[in-house]
Chains A and B, each alone.
Chain A
């Protein structure tokens, strides 16, 4: 089961720290938290994936959807510290071209 910790940083920055598998079962929960952060006025979203051991394409899809929503609000969604499996799936789907990746917050 995935846990999402949401922290509002300075200005319009939201930091979402994910713990656990980001798969088809967990994706709707993350989508709700992303929607909530954006609806609350955050435009710069940082999604910390350092404690996500596995992601599937539905999980990636929610991140793409969140990126689109952030851009519509003139903001951005960036990924922080994805692990090897996450990076691998991003490479295989070519979604590594879409996201900005930060090594730390």
Chain B
């Protein structure tokens, strides 16, 4: 068995859906073999009016959000369904999404731009918070997004992973989907930007666990039409990507070992 598909594991997703979308097959494999993987959704905080500035209000209008409370309830129910499908419980943290963190991000360009200083500080705090979660165990393997697509929340969680790696944790970065599916050049660009922050990729063949990944993705009923607006058949798009990733190994998911700051 692939070494990443065994042992205790904590999968950190910035938003509801990132782990099932990106590496749900590996989570399902771990669960099937009794390794009891756990998921954590970071930016799952509740909203109050003061958090919705002009940029967030513009986003809400674009997304046709009229009742944020109802949206939160739906997103959490979908996340819980997906986690059950994969066989891994999910914990929701209380961090606000980037668009609700004051006026730090005022445009899509900034939302997909570089992390600013305060956000690096928040990433270091997040690492500390993860290490004190009830799910944390000595020797647990941590999975964070690589940050393909450069959404600041994904970059922030990657940085938290890097901080954990600096404290001796074994940390791997997963390939953010659907970004990696619809924009393969984004993976190359992100790897170039990261330089020595990650090592050589490792493949995890997922075999039949691909079906569980697809079933888990289908749980995000409110999101699938938006996330996969580039295709009418998300199952084929994800399956073809996994098969392409694995080559002769069959459907697979790809992970990069995360190196701490200051590593050669």
Contacts and interface: CB of A to CB of B under 8 A. Distances in A.
Nearest to B135: A24
Interface residues of B, number: 25
A88 B118 CA distance: 10
Given A24-B134, A57-B94, A61-B94, A89 B125 contact: yes
B180 interface: no
Contacts, number: 66
A75 to B, nearest CB: 14
Which applies to chain A's interface (DSSP): helix, strand, loop or mixed? helix
A71 B122 CA distance: 28
A25 B129 CA distance: 11
Contact of A94 (B46, B94, B101, B133): B101
A8 interface: no
A39 to B, nearest CB: 19
A98 B45 contact: no
A68 B48 contact: yes
Contact of B101 (A56, A59, A93): A93
A94 B98 CA distance: 10
Interface of B: 42, 44-46, 48, 50-51, 91, 93-96, 100-102, 104, 118, 121-122, 125-126, 129, 132-134
Contact of A97 (B46, B95, B102, B121): B102
Interface string A3-36: 0000000000000000000011100000000000
B132 A56 contact: yes
A57 B45 contact: yes
7 contacts: A24-B129, A57-B93, A58-B93, A64-B48, A68-B48, A93-B122, A97-B51
B93 A97 contact: no
B48 A92 contact: no
Contact of A59 (B51, B94, B118, B134): B94
Contacts of A60: 45, 94
A50 interface: no
A57 B129 contact: yes
Interface in A65-88: 65, 67-68, 71, 88
Interface of A: 23-25, 56-62, 64-65, 67-68, 71, 88-89, 91-95, 97-98
Nearest to A67: B48
Contacts of B93: 24, 56-58, 61
B96 A92 contact: no
A84 to B, nearest CB: 13
Given A57-B93, A64-B94, A94 B100 contact: yes
Contacts of A93: 45, 95-96, 101, 122
Contacts of A95: 51, 96
A47 to B, nearest CB: 15
Contacts of A23: 129, 132
Nearest to A85: B125
Contacts of B91: 24
A21 to B, nearest CB: 8
Given A23-B132, A56-B93, A64-B46, 10 more contacts: A23-B129, A24-B129, A57-B95, A62-B94, A65-B46, A94-B100, A94-B104, A95-B51, A95-B96, A98-B48
The interface centre, meaning the residue of B44, B51, B94 with most chain A CB atoms within 10 A of its CB, is B94
Contacts of A94: 51, 96, 100-102, 104
